[in-house]
Amino acid sequence: MTDQSTPTPPTTTFDSGIPAPEEDYSLTAGTDGPIALHDAYVVQKMQQFNRERVPERVVHAKGSGAHGYFEVTNDITRYTRASLFSEVGKRTEIIARFSQVAGEHGYPDTVRDPRGFSVKFYTEDGNWDLVGNNTPVFFMRDPAKFQHFIRSQKRLPDSGLRSNDMQWDFWTGSPESAHQVMILMSDHGTPASYATMNGYGSHTFSMENAAGEKVWVKYHFHADAGQHDFTDEEAGAHAGPDPDYLRRDLRDRIAEGDHPSWTLKIQVMPFEDAEGYRFNPFDVTKVWPHGDYPLIEVGRMVLDRNPDNFFAEIEQSAFSPSNIVPGLGLSPDKMLQGRIFSYHDTHLHRIGTNYQQLPVNASKAPVNSYNQDGAMRYAHSDGQPVYSPNSYGGPVSDTERGHDLTWSTEGGEIGRYAYVAHAEDDDFGQAGTLYRHVLSDEGREHAVTNIVGHVGDGVSPTIQRRALEYLTKIDAGLGAAVAKGLGVADGGEPAGADAPEPFGQAAGQGPAVDLRESETAGRA
């Protein structure tokens, strides 16, 4: 907001700069007469108002963010030639956006959900976007299931209500979700502040050094102030009184000079380790245990500047995993490959063809692209040739500097495949490790009560039974504790026995069907 003490406010104008005639009264024929259509000022106010919103993101709709910088604190040039990591002490401007996943604009910030954790690094080689979450894994490993997953987390088609039944129906029908569900149901599902929340690139990425040597990489941001979560009860207590709790907390901290910071660390796997590693390293439902690949410090990210305009800088900020700079690369992770297409595409739809020209998204490195024109384009290449090759000095690719970071594949017949299972791959193992070995006694107790509260709220008996089987596969003690919490330890009816089956006979679609056998049949 502008300073309220400004002695002489500026003159209101049309968007064309013409002084406005009047703010409070429409132009009418006499005191009661109809409004004149040629009152362009009032008409244009209405027209602009009707167009004020861009479509909200279908996922990660509600976000908060701030500007800052990244500073290299440890030399990793043996792994990457990326210019932003070229020397200790080097600083790169960034913007970060944190978000809910399922909640829409206006949804309470503290409700249980994974959180988006996206960072745009404005490097001298163009923008690098690390578009991650506050969890190191994801609910599925193939983008073919993503739309189904998100719909199950959103709202029922008839009532417009959210439904725990849909969520557990999808999760229990998709056992690869177990690890992420376990994290979500721990207190990490209700972070107490964006400033004290860890972030992850989640996928496996790659790096290449100046000598052309390549490694696989995972990214971790550890909050320097430590990771702090709400209990389920605390999160619920904030949701009503202040739905914008996390947004306000982030803004207030930065305004007060309490600048949140994170240490960026990487795990590095030699290219040649991937094939024989005990977990398939490209399966985003798995972590690489720290004991196998220890964390290596890279640098520090600091957020020190709030946006001046939320819509321009946060709502219109657009992150895409396809923004990857020389020296950094992708991997065979199929979810990552799906996101390479999907994120850029959604911004084209949501903001427009030329969204990358908006100041928050614009590269600070020169842009010399043959892409041209389209709605709202204002930066252009003057008289530059519009085709390539040309004989008139148009840009030419630098195949050395910009070359693809590639890997070899076995190839084989085009088909629809599951990941090759490595020695210790299964859907429940790492989720069980988390429950048994990482969570404290208190963390385990909270996970149980969080799950009992969730499964006990509007989940039909069929799905409750499946949830208990699924949780028992994560850990027998967890399954038993949740069964006890639901009051079914003695084999009685699940607590939600009265809960309606949302896609049941009322909708003329018959009762819920156990989909697990057919769901898993196609997987190797």
Determine if 188 is a binding residue for ligand NDP (CB under 6 A): yes
Q: Strand, coil or helix: what is 67? A: strand
* Gap between the Cα atoms of 206 and 215, Å rounded: 6
Stretch that binds ligand NDP, among 124-132, 249-257, 431-439, 488-496 (CB under 6 A): 431-439
**Cis peptide bond prior to 270, omega within 30° of 0:** no
CB of 477 to ligand NDP, least distance (A): 16
Stretch that binds ligand NDP, among 287-295, 383-391, 404-412, 508-516 (CB under 6 A): 287-295
Number of residues that bind ligand NDP (CB under 6 A): 18
499, two tokens: 């809960």
**Residue nearer to ligand NDP on the CB measure, 282 or 343:** 282
CB 260 within 8 Å of CB 225: yes
Determine if 438 is a binding residue for ligand NDP (CB under 6 A): yes
* Helix axis angle, 461-474 to 476-485, nearest 10°: 150
Of 111, 278, 113, nearest to 181 (Cα)?
Answer: 113
Q: Pick from 83, 152, 172, 186 the residue near ligand NDP by CB under 6 A.
A: 186
Catalytic residue among 74, 105, 127, 133: 133
133 catalytic? Reply is yes
Determine if 290 is a binding residue for ligand NDP (CB under 6 A): yes
Determine if 294 is a binding residue for ligand NDP (CB under 6 A): no
- Of residues 210 through 249, those in contact with ligand NDP by CB under 6 A are 220, 222, 227
HEC secondary structure over 203-216: CCEEEECCCCCEEE
**Residue nearer to ligand NDP on the CB measure, 290 or 484:** 290
Determine if 190 is a binding residue for ligand NDP (CB under 6 A): no
Determine if 289 is a binding residue for ligand NDP (CB under 6 A): yes
107 contact partners, CB below 8 Å, separation of at least 6: 61, 62, 100, 243
Q: Pick from 110, 198, 204, 263 the residue near ligand NDP by CB under 6 A.
A: 198
458: left (phi over 0), alpha (psi -120 to 50) or beta: left
Measured CA angle at 485 (ends 480, 488), to 5 deg: 70
- In angstroms and rounded to an integer, the radius of gyration of the C-alpha atoms of the chain is 26
CB of 376 to ligand NDP, least distance (A): 41
Determine if 434 is a binding residue for ligand NDP (CB under 6 A): yes
**Residue nearer to ligand NDP on the CB measure, 438 or 507:** 438
Q: Strand, coil or helix: what is 408? A: coil
* Gap between the Cα atoms of 46 and 52, Å rounded: 10
**Residue nearer to ligand NDP on the CB measure, 136 or 502:** 136
**Interface with ligand NDP by CB under 6 A: which residues?**
136, 183, 186, 188, 198, 220, 222, 227, 287, 289-291, 430, 433-434, 438-439, 443
Question: Which residues are marked as active site?
Answer: 60, 133
